[in-house]
Every structure is written in structure tokens, then in C-alpha cells.
Amino acid sequence: MDAFIDQFFNLDVMIKYLPDVIGGFWITLALALSVIATGLILGLLLACLRAFQWRVINLGIVLFVDLFRALPPLVLLIIGYFGLPYAGLALSGFTISWLCLSFVLAAFAEEIFWAGITSVQKGQWEASRSTGLSFGETLIYVVIPQALRMTIPPLTNRTIAITKNTALASVVAVQEMLTVAQTSLAYAANTSPLTLAAIGYLLVFFPLVILSRWVETRFAWKR
Amino acid sequence: MDWEVIRFSFFNLDSIAQVYPLLLKGWWMTIKLCVAVVPLGFALGAMIATVHSFKIRWVNWLLIALVDFFRSIPPLVLLIYTVYGLPLLGFDVPAFGAVLVAFTINSAAYYGEIVRAGIESIPAGQLEAARSTGLGRWQAMMHVVLPQAVRNVAPDLTSNTLELIKATSIASVVALPELLRMGRVAQGLVYNATPLIAVAVIYLLMLWPLVRLLSRLERRVLAAR
Amino acid sequence: MNRQQPIVDAQNIEKSFGDLKVLFGVDLQVAPQELVFIIGPSGSGKSTLLRCCNLLEQPTAGTIHIMGEEITAKGVDINQVRQRIGMVFQSFNLYPHMSALGNVALALRKVKKIPRTEAEALAHEALRRVGLSHKASSFPNELSGGQQQRVAIARAIAMEPEVILFDEPTSALDPELVGSVLEVMRELRASGMTMVVVSHEMRFAAEAADRVLFMDQGLIVEQGTPEQVFNNTQHDRTRSFLSRVSGN
Ligand SMILES: Nc1ncnc2c1ncn2[C@@H]1O[C@H](COP(=O)(O)OP(=O)(O)OP(=O)(O)O)[C@@H](O)[C@H]1O
Ligand SMILES: [Mg+2]
């Protein structure tokens, strides 16, 4: 038991590396927030675009979604960071992580938003169009607000799951929390810095997970 | 952009010819990992959901706290814990075992939530009818409630399985020689990105059908509403 | 076996759901081969009383003996007890993922541990008794409501219980399907099965019941032969209930 505490909850080690881990924490947070913002907005835009049912664009959206749903985020990160330079395109690890994770979130969000849009009854469209609103106006003022409500629970869960992948940025040399923790772990030959990072992730994601539970009961799909 | 460079760096058939045995080995390891972790994670998740359905107040608090804890921790963090932490504690686990432990725990949290939703979708009368004939609570779950529950949440289960298979690529970070790891090794040998593209293509071949199936399932669920 | 020993002997049963008290000390004795009929207004606690008898609800107070064995005592294997008490539900509660035969055979196999082929033979026999041999391989969604309820009865009798509890077995059925279920219940009675029936089928009660119990607000207000309760009613509450039921 003592060995366990010494290995995972060593206070001296924790205090020593706390400032470093906090530095990483801010980077993790910045990355997470940019991914959430970019991913959700892009996803919503794509879903709206899809509502217009233009053949070619539709096909493009479906391909984009399928691609980013089928490929593991880490594969994308690695191709972006270690592969793109061969084509003369060397982006920072942060940029790559932000782009890749945003695309992944956008793909999932598009599917969810689109499902929400198609689930709004045809009568809603007809009623709105009959009062003279255009297709776009109907989408924005009538359909999306109804669709959003239904999409909130699955969207929250998915957003949490994808945003947790910011930890993967450690693989592409971003100095985020897990990177810092791992470096410290190697220096200290002790797992406690990793515990600090775990606590950091809990601080960010545990409230979100609790929120998702609340949201699930509050905005549950009507059956 | 120089197309010749692109072709050479990303679609280099010579490189593929050189490293495909490595990739195959990695692919096989990924398959083994998935075949082990999907049933384990599902079984543990179904067990959690079953215990949850017994409605013992303090047990449920504990279960939900645990599940939420593991939903808040990135799988990679968990992985590093089991892979580097367990040996430091004096447990002599092979890497594959440590990876298995991490993914089983992580995926069980998600499977558990899904199965729980499935169980809650089954009318109470089913359990009562089963119990009234003398079936025990595990038996009633096993033979009457779970089969129906699983069917009701099949799309979510499929989706979670897809995510789990994708997540196994994270094991490459801790040097488990699975597909992505072998892709990285191969990239180091041929000094171009073709092996990485090959890895992506292999993942696509494996998972795209699943993604298509899911799209269809999800649409059907929606249509039923 | 002592012929006088009641099959079911529930003494002073009380039941509360949180702050809501539903049963206020109910006694229920059921003699071998007796058909006891329970009537009463909605919410009077009829279902709760039945469900207490096989511990689907745990009584808050009181004791229940089945064939002289106290099932409310600590350490009783409830699953062993429940084999001896069949139950038929208003909403059938057939398992939708199993055929009629599978529904009937499941508990035979898993509780009585009877090997599959033998269990299925017994299940076939039970289905034959409810007149559904030809539907053995049908799934619940391929059966009419009346047929589903008869399968549910087969599921109960296959376990060879000492007593079967019926909770409004015909209330969810279209009128023209009620007859087939009552017919099965009549035959069960003729074969000597002990039964407790909650139902609003007053004509069936008058013809088939040995004893009628009227419950209101968690108490048994009045009981006796159908003749006594229906034609020689003692209590106002019973009278007003009966007039409401026959009124519509
Ligand atoms: N699980 C429960 N939790 C809380 N209250 C309950 C529960 N089950 C029953 N009750 C309450 O107990 C009371 C008696 O219910 P019960 O189902 O026994 O009535 P009933 O006589 O069978 O009525 P009905 O003819 O409508 O079936 C009702 O007020 C009901 O709301
Ligand atoms: Mg009732």
C-alpha cells in the first residue's frame, strides 16, 4: 500500500512538477476549446448545407463525414504531423491537432445535426413555407431550433469523447498536459506527475460528464 | 505542388512492396487486440449495467461515479498508467496485458452506459414475469431482459465498437506493435509517408463498411420515432 | 398433505410505497382447489396484494405462508417459492424475443434445470392444455391478445404451481377475445387448480368463484360466496361499487 501511494500519490514529486503540469493544463484547455468551437460550428454548417440537397456537395459531405468517422484520430494526427512535411507542408503540432480533431468532431456533429434536421416533421416545413418564408429562413428559424433540442444529448457525449483526444497531441510534440506529465514521469521515475495530469483531465471533463447526464434527462429524445 | 514528389512520398508502391510484411503483422496485432477487448469490454459493461438494474442505492452511486470517472479520463492517460504504472508497482504484466486492462476498463464504462439505457427501455413487466416463474435476478437479466435490451440499442453498441476499434490505435504510443505502430516503424525504414497512408487505407477498408452500416441503422432508428 | 391446510395464508399484510400506505392489514387464506375472486375499485390495492403473495412486492408488515412454509421469513430462497406460485399479468408480459414454446420452456430449463428436449415436451403439453399446440413456434407479435394471454397461462401452469395468481387477465383484451381466456381458466378450475383472480368479469365471478372478496382503500371490506356478495350485499361501499360496474 505504501509503495502504491509513493508511486502514484507522492506529494513531494507532485509539488515539484505542479507548475509544469499547470502550464500544460492551459494548453490542453486552449486546444480543447478551439476544437469544440471549430468542430461544432463546422458540423452545423455542413448539416445546413446538406439540407439544400445539392447532389455534388452532398456527396462531398458524406465522403468527408465517412472518412473522419472511419479513421482513428491518432492516424490523422500522425499523417498530418509526420506525413505532410514530405509534401513540403510542415504545420505545428498544435495546428495539426486542432485541425484534425476539429474535422473529426465536425464529421460526427454533422451526422447528429443532420439526423436532427431530418427528424423534424414535414408539416413544419410546409407550414413555414406556406407563410412565405424561404427555404433558408425555414431552416434557420423553424427547423434548426427544433432539431438542436434533440441533438443536445448525443452531441454532448460525442463532444466529450472527441475532445478527450487532445491528450493525443502529446504524440505530435505539443507541450500539453500529458506531454509534460510524461516528461516529468521519466525524470522522477515516479507516476505521480501522471496523477496530476489525470486530476487535470478530471477537472475539465468530469463536470462535462455530469452535465451530459443532466442534459440527457432534460433533453431526452421524445419517444 | 510537385505531383511527382507527392506520388513518391505518399503513394510509393516500391515502399509498400518493401514494408508490407510489417504492416500485415501490425494489422494482425490490431485484430487480436480487438477480438480480445471488444468481448471483454462488452461483458464487463453488461455486468455493470445488470448490477445497476438491481437498484441498490449505494452500489449505484458507486457505479455511476466510477463510470463517469473513466468517461472523464482520456484512454491514453489510462494506458500510460497501466503500461508504466503497473510495472513500477512490481506487477510483471506484458504490454499486451496492460493495454488490454486499460481498454477493457475504458470501453466497459461506455458499453455499460449503453446497455443500461437498453435495460431501461424494457418494460418492468418483462422482469416481473421472469421473476414470477422463479428465475433468479441474474438469470432473468441474462435470458429475458438483456437479449431485448441489446437489440434495442444495437446501433449505439455498434457505434461504440467502432470507436473502440479506432481507439486501439492509441496502443501504438506505448510501443505495442499494432497497425499504426508498424506504420511508423515502416515510415522510418523507407523515409516517406506511404506506409502511413497504407495504414489509413487499411483502417478505411476495415471500418468504412461499419460506418455505412451505422449511418443506415441510425436513420432507421430515427424513422421509427 | 393436510387437506385443511391453506395453500396461501397471508396474515395482516401491510404495504407502503414511501409515504403512501396502500394495504392496511389484509388477511387472505386460500384453500386447496379454491377459486378466490377479488374485486374492488381502481387503486384499492388488489394488484399490490397479489404481488405481495409472490414477493414481487415486499410487504411492509405481515406474514405469508405458502403450504405452511413462511416465505416472508429471512433466508427463504424466493426463486424456489415462486416456482410454486404462478402469475398471469394484465399485459401478458410474454418475452418478445422467444417463441411461444421458448416462453413456456425457459423457467423449466433454468429454474427446474430440466434438459432442453424434456422441457420442450412439457412446454408442448402446457400449450396443448390452453389449446395452442399449433402456435408453439409463433412469436408473441404473431399472436392475438387472447392467444398471448393463453401462452402466458401455459407459462405459469408448466411449472406445476400450487396456486396461480391472475391480475386482470382479460382487461387488456378485445371483448371477443375474452371468452377464450375465461374458457381456459374454467378448465383449470375443473382440473382442481387453486386460483386467485383479480378481475372485473362479474359474470365469470358469479359462475365460477367459490368466494368473492371486495377490497376498498387497502382493506377487505366484505367477502362471501358470489351469491352473498352480489345478491345479498352487506356494505354500502360494495353496493355502490357493484352498481357502478354493472351500470356501464
Ligand atoms: N410501485 C409503486 N410505487 C408507488 N405507488 C404504487 C406502486 N404500485 C402501486 N402503487 C399505488 O398503490 C395503490 C394501489 O395500487 P394497485 O395497483 O394495487 O391498485 P389496484 O387495486 O390493482 O388498481 P387497478 O384496478 O387500477 O389495477 C395506488 O394508489 C397506486 O398508485
Ligand atoms: Mg391492478
Q: Residue A138: its pLDDT value, please?
A: 84
Q: Residue B86: its pLDDT value, please?
A: 80
Q: Is the pLDDT of residue A219 over 80?
A: no
Give C220's strand partners: C215
Q: Which residues of B touch A170 (CB under 8 A)?
A: 76, 173
Q: What is the DSSP string of A87-129?
A: GT----HHHHHHHHHHHHHHHHHHHHHHHHHHHS-HHHHHHHH
C163-167 and C85-88 strand pairing: parallel
Q: What is the value of pTM for the model shown?
A: 0.83
Decide if C152 touches B, using CB distance below 8 A: yes
Q: Is the CB of C190 under 6 A from ligand 1?
A: no
Domain parsing of chain A, residue ranges: 2-219
Whole-number percent of chain C with pLDDT over 90: 82
Considering its fold, how many domains does chain B have in total? Answer: 1
Q: Residue B222: its pLDDT value, please?
A: 57
Q: Is the pLDDT of residue B56 over 80?
A: yes
Mean pLDDT of chain A: 88
Give the CATH number of the domain where residue B199 resides: 1.10.3720.10
CA of C245 to the centre of ligand 1 (A): 19
Q: Residue C128: its pLDDT value, please?
A: 96
Give A110's strand partners: none
Q: Using one digit for the tens of pLDDT, what is the confidence trace for C6-59?
A: 999 999 999 999 999 999 999 999 999 999 999 999 999 999 999 999 888 999
Q: Using one digit for the tens of pLDDT, what is the confidence trace for C150-170?
A: 999 999 999 999 999 999 999
Nearest-5° angle of CA C210, CA C215, CA C216?
A: 160
Q: Which CATH architecture has domain A2-219?
A: Orthogonal Bundle (1.10)
- For residue B196, give its domain range: 3-224
C219-224 and C163-167 strand pairing: unpaired
Ligand nearest to the CA of C46: 1
DSSP tag of B192: S
Q: Using one digit for the tens of pLDDT, what is the confidence trace for A157-194?
A: 899 999 999 999 998 888 888 888 888 888 888 888 88
- When pLDDT is averaged across residues B185-199 and rounded to a whole number, the result is 91
| HSE, side-chain direction, 13 A CA sphere, residue B145 | 31
Q: Residue A137: its pLDDT value, please?
A: 83
Q: Which residues of B touch A161 (CB under 8 A)?
A: 71, 163
Decide if B122 touches A, using CB distance below 8 A: no
